[in-house]
């Protein structure tokens, strides 16, 4: 749930002459992102995290980096000329647009982006900050729960990772699923971090523009059921 200080990391990478790729799938849907300010070389995010279709996303690459790269897919618009002993690539961005694009999902993704733009990313962020603060206050009062990440709400996304003492996250997820609450349990693509925290896994509750304080209350009610079932003090 903690917002990574990407600018600091990118600055250190630049000093070492290292290219940087930022996974912005949990950032772009939730807050304003300024790529020029970040200064990264690659930036990726997905459609399904921001109300769009699955299987579609964006990979932004700094132009001077793209100009030095060779295509990694072949076919269609990525070719300028083909001869018996020589082939030349098309101009950017066509050099990397091989074959028929995923037109339908891209159109759907565009509609999702328009929708969020109309709402305003500052408004999206404000809603999540309010909801996350409310949830943090409530969850911290449930017996037996440990919350991971900073307590500074201004440095958190709309995500809260937590564990019950002596209760496996998969068991927690199954129990609260029976109450109509969906959380993710597992490594969350961060197994190295799980090892650092010395845990098998964690539960993760996440919020978005469609969530309300009533949803948080329902989550708390289900977590209190877990505490009662396992007699946690």
Residue ranges covered by each domain of the chain: 6-119, 121-229
Query: Per residue of the chain (233 residues), what is the pLDDT tens digit?
Result: 899 999 999 999 999 999 999 999 999 999 999 999 999 999 999 999 999 999 999 999 999 999 999 998 998 889 999 999 999 999 999 999 898 889 999 999 999 999 999 999 999 999 999 999 999 999 999 999 999 999 999 999 999 999 998 899 999 999 999 999 999 999 998 999 999 999 999 999 999 999 999 999 999 999 999 999 998 86
**CATH of span 121-229:** 3.90.1150.10
Degrees to nearest 5, angle at CA 184 with 181 and 189: 170
* pLDDT at residue 1 in the model: 87
Catalytic residue among 16, 82, 103, 189, which?
189
* Global confidence as pTM: 0.89
- Asked if residue 166 lies in contact with residue 230, where contact means CB atoms within 8 angstroms, the answer is yes
Close Cβ partners of 19 (under 8 Å, ≥ 6 residues apart): 13, 41, 42, 65
* pLDDT at residue 233 in the model: 64
- Asked if residue 21 lies in contact with residue 40, where contact means CB atoms within 8 angstroms, the answer is yes
Among 185, 187, 125, 186, smallest CA distance to 157 is for 125
CATH architecture of the domain 6-119 equals: 3-Layer(aba) Sandwich (3.40)
Residue 189 annotated among the catalytic residues of the structure: yes
Tell me whether the CATH fold assigned to 6-119 matches the one assigned to 121-229.
no
- Ramachandran angles phi, psi of 186, nearest 5°: 145, -150
């Amino acid at each position: 749930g903690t917002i990574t200080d990407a600018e600091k990391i990118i600055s250190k990478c630049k000093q070492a002459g290292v290219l940087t790729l930022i996974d912005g799938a949990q950032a772009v849907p939730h807050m304003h992102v300024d790529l020029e300010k970040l200064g990264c070389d690659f930036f990726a995010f997905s459609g399904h995290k921001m109300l769009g279709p699955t299987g579609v996303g964006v990979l932004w690459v700094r132009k001077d980096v793209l100009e030095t790269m060779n295509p990694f897919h072949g076919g269609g618009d990525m070719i300028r000329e083909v001869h018996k002993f020589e082939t030349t690539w098309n101009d950017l961005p066509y050099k990397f647009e091989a074959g028929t694009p995923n037109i339908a999902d891209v159109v759907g993704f565009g509609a999702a982006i328009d929708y969020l733009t109309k709402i305003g990313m500052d408004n999206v962020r404000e809603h999540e900050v309010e909801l996350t603060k409310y949830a943090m206050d409530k969850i911290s009062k449930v017996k037996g729960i440990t919350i991971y990440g900073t307590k500074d709400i201004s440095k958190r996304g709309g995500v809260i990772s937590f564990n019950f003492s002596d209760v496996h996250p998969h068991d927690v997820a199954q129990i609260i699923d029976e109450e109509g609450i969906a959380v993710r349990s597992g490594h969350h693509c961060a197994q190295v971090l799980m090892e650092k925290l010395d845990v098998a896994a964690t539960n993760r509750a996440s919020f978005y523009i469609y969530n309300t304080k009533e949803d948080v209350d329902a989550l708390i009610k289900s977590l209190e059921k877990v505490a009662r079932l396992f007699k946690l003090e």
